[in-house]
Amino acid sequence: MKWLALAAMLVPGSALAADYSCNFRTECYESEPCGESGFTVELRGGEDRMVTDFGTYPILALRDEPPLVTAFVHADSAVYLLTVNDAAARFTAHLNDGPQSITYLGRCERVG
């Protein structure tokens, strides 16, 4: 029975995942003051893809249990984490160059 539960956790999230459209109006870079942003992210759970303004990447881990959604993505130059709940969304980019981090604050809505 424990093996069955473990196997269920390893099934890709796309089988149950929805799609989300996210708009981030605030960008915070390192310790600088936050500023306005027009950054967007699409979470395509059915395709296991995250689409950003700077590329499309495979989702490595996805938890889609509304109201909580989290997605983890690894690209060549950065690691990305998206966390969503009913009230807000956070997208954090951890760049290998530096290293540096950028946090985006906004909202996501379920579109699929």
Neighbouring CB atoms inside 10 A of 47's CB total: 15
pLDDT of residue 54: 86
**pLDDT tens for the 112 residues of the chain, in order:** 433 333 333 344 444 468 999 999 999 999 999 999 999 999 998 899 999 988 999 999 999 888 899 999 999 999 999 999 988 999 999 999 999 999 999 999 999 6
What pLDDT, on a 0 to 100 scale, did the predictor assign at position 87? 86
How far is 108 from 21, CA to CA, in rounded Å?
Answer: 5
Q: How far apart are CA 58 and CA 70, in angstroms?
A: 14
User: Which parts of 12-111 are beta strand (E)?
Assistant: 19-29, 35-44, 49-52, 55-65, 68-74, 78-84, 89-95, 100-110
CATH topology of domain 2-110: Porin (2.40.160)
pTM as predicted: 0.81
- Residue 98's alpha-carbon distances to 25, 86, 94, 101, in angstroms, are 24, 33, 10, 9
- Would you say 48 and 59 are in contact if contact means Cβ atoms under 8 Å apart? yes
Question: What pLDDT is attached to residue 17?
Answer: 67
Tell me what pLDDT residue 66 has: 83
